[in-house]
Structure 1
Amino acid sequence: MSRPVPPHRSLVVRLLGTSVLIVVLSVATAAWLAAKTATRAAQEERGESLAGDSRIYDTLLGYAATHPAWDGVELTVQALGEETGRQVTLTTTDGTPIAATHPGAASPDRPTAVVDPLGAASGVIDPRAVGPYELTPRERAEQHRLAEQRVSCLRRQGIEATVHEAPNGRAVVRLGSRNPTPRADCRFRETTATSTEKLAVGDLRDRVTPCLRERRIGAIDLDYDLTWQFHDPEAPASRVDAQDCVDEARRAQLRPYVAEPARLYLSRPARPPTPVFDLSAGSTLRIAGATGFVLLVAITATLVVGMRLVRPLRALTAAADRATHRPEPVAIARNDEIGRLAGAFNDLAERSERSEAQRRTMVNDIAHELRSPLTNIRSWLTAGQDGLADLDQDMLRLLLEESGLLQHIVDDLADLADADAGTLALHPGEHDVAELLAQVTEAHRGAADRVGVAVRRTVTGDPVAVVDQARFRQIVGNLLSNAIRHTPAGGRVEVRARDDGGDLVVEVADTGVGLSSADLPHVFDRFWRADKARTRATGGSGLGLSIARRLAQAHGGNLTAVSTPGAGSTFTLRLPGHGRVAPIGSESGRRGVEPGVTRS
């Protein structure tokens, strides 16, 4: 069992101490900087406020839209300068001064904006520039009377409405955004053009007509609110060109009623230096209170976060301490580093459990494989000792066969142990692949002929491999003997070799019974047989394919299999770069240790 963690080593204490130190330093620094620069920053922020600049521009733009000249603008400029704390300078387009808050002071090199109510550069005419469209007092009063009548009618229907005045004095009734559509009996003559508007619109129509003719655009119908539509909707025309004509005519019509464009210069006037440090007793108390509050929040947050971090770690530690032989899984669902650690811990526990199950199965299989020949040998020797059997040549042959089987199993287990330990010795050399395959096929031809299976060998090209010839023959021999054993009489086994993009590929294909998709992933497992009823005599020791794959990996390659039930199986040996041998203990030599079988 692990010992308790000392308090000064605890993760929570470390996080708490670090957070407190950081917060104290940051709050103290922020308080000092805030106290040192608060007054100056506030004054500069007010002076450089975008809202202040926008207010200056909008006020002067409205003045130009409602006055035919800039006469008398000096008082407005002075008031804006005092209100915003800015240096305001207004000049004509040729640089002649119009008004300034600081006469004689230097202005910026470039103007901040151009004040033009007709928007010759921007294309937008200020709505406050009404000119000849401004209603007379009598018309204004009549418009407001009609608008109020309409509002009263709408309210009797339960519809909210308000009266707003347009820049030219016209009363406009606005309905609520979610109100129902009013009945037709609430429409009054406030939407009809007045005499002043009719005269102005007629003058505008006369100004627009030459432009429309010049651009070959059909006639348009103008309304009192300066909206328009084509007189003949079917006539081809450009709405953009027509709108340009309307805008040009409006600018020409409004020009005598607005001021000429002017340049606006905004800058910061020279000010006396502000105090560097100004901190009252009230400010000191507020800073101290804020510092204490921030410290309290930081301590609370650190404790909460720290406990959330430590709780799963303690669960992992307890699970590891409870494990006598292997770790037990823990239930920690977190999407962070600790969650990943818990997932890796659970994977380790699962792999450990699987490895333990495989170990028990392998021990049982080894005991079973060794028990049969040992039992036979002991039975015959006991019978000979008791005089129940003669120790003749037949008896000796049987004993030698059983001892040979024992030796074969022991040798296979030794090869696997060396491969697992990374001590499998290889003696690579350059060899002719066709010659090596010929030796293997001829060695197994007798066994194939006895069961009526045809063995065919095909080598494409003249491949040369750098391999350990004994181990290479062992790989192909294990594959060939497995194929012959699982192919019924009359079937065939093909051994094919070719060069595939610089890799050596050897395939052993048979027309045997094949494997199901459920059995295929286990074909390289040790002591595994697809047919559990097969005995050692008919099904082999169950180690041949495992050894073949480990030897292939020792050569830097891999061994895979595809199979179709009832049609046969194909085992493919691929050695990269014509068999560049990798040490069995290296990363490339260990590649593919888990059975990565390709399914058909």
Structure 2
Amino acid sequence: MVGPYRLPARERARLDALAAKRERCYARYGLRATVERTASGRPVVTPADTAGPADHGATGCEDGRLNTPTPTERKALAALSDLARPCLHQAGLELGGRPFVTFDPSGKDPLGGGYLAAKSAGPGTKEAARTAQRCLTTARRTQLEPYAAPVAELFLGIGDQNPARFDMSPANKAKVVGAAGLVLAVTVAVTAVVAVRLVRPLRALTLAAQQPPELHARVPVTTRDETGILAEAFNGLSERRERLQAQRKAMVSDIAHELRSPLTNIRGWLEVVRDGVVDPDPALLDSLHEEALVLQRIIDDLQDLAAADAGTLRLHREPLHAGDLLDQVAAAHRVAADAAGVVLRTRADGAWLDADPVRMRQVLGNLVSNALRHTPAGGTVTLGARRDGAHAVLTVTDTGTGIAAGDLPHVYERFWRAEKSRSRRTGGSGLGLPIVRHLVVAHGGTAEVASEPGTGAVFTLRLPAVPPPGDDR
């Protein structure tokens, strides 16, 4: 503890200069020294060697100015003298002057400040010295007392007092009961409000789920918690149900339309033959046979789609050379291509795939028929096959009219045709491309299409490739 002995900045700077001067003086005589600083800020130069300054001839460096008390210290020592004088007088000792302060390098200062108060009088008896030191120590404690924290006192127990009993007046009991009742009422009210807010969305979901399926009810999404996520999932389910129902209705209408046209033709011609209006000549029989084939193709396509949807479509896989497959499909459509004035080409490398040859001819046949139908005379339809890593890529490229960008996402939908008039001249039943996609997916592949109006279209089938038979790679 420093108390009134704390040096201001000006006095500290002056003492630091004197300490540095003494340290440099020691260094000139080859004596190493260190500068220590007390808690009050006073620097003390201490030789680091065991030999003192006198052994090095450096006594001239100790001019005494560094150990002279500063004005702040003299003021504090004057107060210390006044406090110690009564004790010394009672012990029969007279101070005879004012004490001076020095630094205690041993660290044995009883108050831990690094100071040692001494008197410039001559030596006395040891008992007198101990008495004087005791008086100075007591005076110094008194001097530093205003700077020390108050003593903390800890009391354990209550002595001989009787413990107070818990006793409440009727008024205080009424206050406690009222406060408890108020807290309980507020808790019940808050719980009821929170419960209503939590249950309201669930009631809305229950009410929407109880509505007739054809209404496709929705619920408002008012929160982003678990209830809100459940409401969004319910709305998404309702939207999917509505979309599936619309597709189902459209499919039934399309099937009825596709079956009605050939049946109407067959019925009409049979009625006029029955009435004797026309004779059943070979041309008429060929026309009726053609309409029956149309019906048969539609029914076969629907059966294939139903089997694919149910997962019962059977495939008879075998190693299949892509080039041979393309040649077979091209040969089957060569006559139709020549009749339409379209050049039919094939381009294949040594790619092999494990597939059902009948189903793959059906897939490529649907794509080639579609390409021939939309390619004008003088155009080209090219069948290609190549190996791309672990896949065999089959392509059908035409130079026809192409497909609009808005129609590309719908080309694989059932009964969808860009020609809304459903003309037999420009389009089929709308089941060929859906069958292509389902058969390719059943083989573990994918079907894609890319096109720009006026430049033709490219249908790409990507199927798992296999090494040639007899190749162990």
- TM-score when normalising by structure 1: 0.52
Q: How many Å apart are 1:306 and its aligned residue?
A: 1.9
Alignment of 1:54-73 (within 5 A): 63-64=1-2, 66=3
Q: Assess if the C-alpha contact under 8 Å between 2:39 and 2:114 holds in 1.
A: no
| SS, match of residue 316 in structure 2 | coil
The residue number in structure 1 matching 2:276 is 387
Alignment of 1:262-277 (within 5 A): none
Within the candidate set 191, 196, 199, 1:310 is matched to: 199
| SS, match of residue 42 in structure 2 | helix
Within the candidate set 390, 404, 408, 2:297 is matched to: 408
The residue number in structure 2 matching 1:399 is 288
Cα distance, 1:270–1:428 mapped onto 2, change above 3 Å: farther
1:560-593 Cα deviation digits (max 9, x unpaired): 11111111111111224559xxxxxxxxxxxxxx
Distance 1:314 1:379 in 2: 58
Within the candidate set 378, 388, 391, 1:500 is matched to: 388
Q: Assess if the C-alpha contact under 8 Å between 2:373 and 2:426 holds in 1.
A: yes
The residue number in structure 2 matching 1:375 is 264
Measured on the aligned residues, the alpha-carbon RMSD in Å equals: 3.7
The residue number in structure 1 matching 2:70 is none
Q: How many Å apart are 1:433 and its aligned residue?
A: 2.2
Distance 2:226 2:215 in 1: 23
Within the candidate set 469, 490, 509, 2:357 is matched to: 469
Q: How many Å apart are 1:444 and its aligned residue?
A: 1.4
Distance 2:22 2:287 in 1: 124
Pair 1:481-2:369 in alignment: yes
Within the candidate set 391, 398, 408, 1:510 is matched to: 398
Alignment of 1:204-353 (within 5 A): 204=16, 254-255=42-43, 259-260=113-114, 280=166, 295-353=184-242
| SS, match of residue 210 in structure 2 | helix
Q: Assess if the C-alpha contact under 8 Å between 2:38 and 2:114 holds in 1.
A: no
Distance 1:316 1:489 in 2: 60
The residue number in structure 2 matching 1:573 is 461
| SS, match of residue 205 in structure 2 | helix
Within the candidate set 420, 424, 437, 2:309 is matched to: 420
Pair 1:523-2:395 in alignment: no
Distance 2:315 2:249 in 1: 30
Distance 2:165 2:306 in 1: 81
Cα distance, 1:554–1:271 mapped onto 2, change above 3 Å: farther
Alignment of 1:538-553 (within 5 A): 538-553=426-441
Pair 1:365-2:254 in alignment: yes
Alignment of 1:155-174 (within 5 A): none
1:345-387 Cα deviation digits (max 9, x unpaired): 1112212222222222222222221121111111211111122
Distance 1:546 1:209 in 2: 103
The residue number in structure 2 matching 1:54 is none
Within the candidate set 461, 483, 490, 2:378 is matched to: 490
Distance 2:155 2:331 in 1: 107
| SS, match of residue 325 in structure 1 | helix
Q: How many Å apart are 1:422 and its aligned residue?
A: 2.1
Within the candidate set 419, 439, 442, 2:328 is matched to: 439
Distance 1:254 1:455 in 2: 109
Larger radius of gyration between Structure 1 and Structure 2 = 2
Q: How many Å apart are 1:392 and its aligned residue?
A: 1.6
Within the candidate set 535, 552, 575, 2:423 is matched to: 535
1:458-511 Cα deviation digits (max 9, x unpaired): 223x22222122111111111121112111122212222222221222121222
The one-letter amino acid of 1:469's match is P
Q: Assess if the C-alpha contact under 8 Å between 2:359 and 2:439 holds in 1.
A: yes
Distance 1:519 1:406 in 2: 27
Bigger relative contact order (CA 8 A; separation at least 6): 1
Q: Assess if the C-alpha contact under 8 Å between 2:444 and 2:464 holds in 1.
A: yes
Q: How many Å apart are 1:558 and its aligned residue?
A: 1.8
Q: How many Å apart are 1:288 and its aligned residue?
A: 8.4
| SS, match of residue 314 in structure 2 | coil
Q: Assess if the C-alpha contact under 8 Å between 1:132 and 1:254 holds in 2.
A: no
Which stretch shows the higher mean deviation, 251-260 or 319-328? 251-260
| SS, match of residue 384 in structure 2 | strand
Q: Assess if the C-alpha contact under 8 Å between 1:495 and 1:509 holds in 2.
A: yes
Q: Assess if the C-alpha contact under 8 Å between 1:320 and 1:327 holds in 2.
A: no
Q: How many Å apart are 1:204 and its aligned residue?
A: 4.6
Runs of 4 or more off by more than 4 Å in structure 1? 199-212, 247-253, 269-274, 278-282, 284-298
Distance 2:320 2:243 in 1: 40
| SS, match of residue 538 in structure 1 | coil
Q: Assess if the C-alpha contact under 8 Å between 2:16 and 2:43 holds in 1.
A: no
Q: How many Å apart are 1:544 and its aligned residue?
A: 0.2
Can you give the 5+ residue segments of structure 2 that lack an aligned partner in the other structure? 25-34, 45-72, 74-102, 104-112, 116-152, 159-163, 468-473
Q: How many Å apart are 1:290 and its aligned residue?
A: 8.1
The one-letter amino acid of 1:396's match is L
Q: Assess if the C-alpha contact under 8 Å between 2:348 and 2:384 holds in 1.
A: yes
Distance 2:167 2:386 in 1: 92
Q: How many Å apart are 1:521 and its aligned residue?
A: 0.8
**Identity of aligned pairs, percent?**
47
Cα distance, 1:292–1:368 mapped onto 2, change above 3 Å: same
Q: How many Å apart are 1:260 and its aligned residue?
A: 4.0
> Number of paired residues?
347
The one-letter amino acid of 2:433's match is L
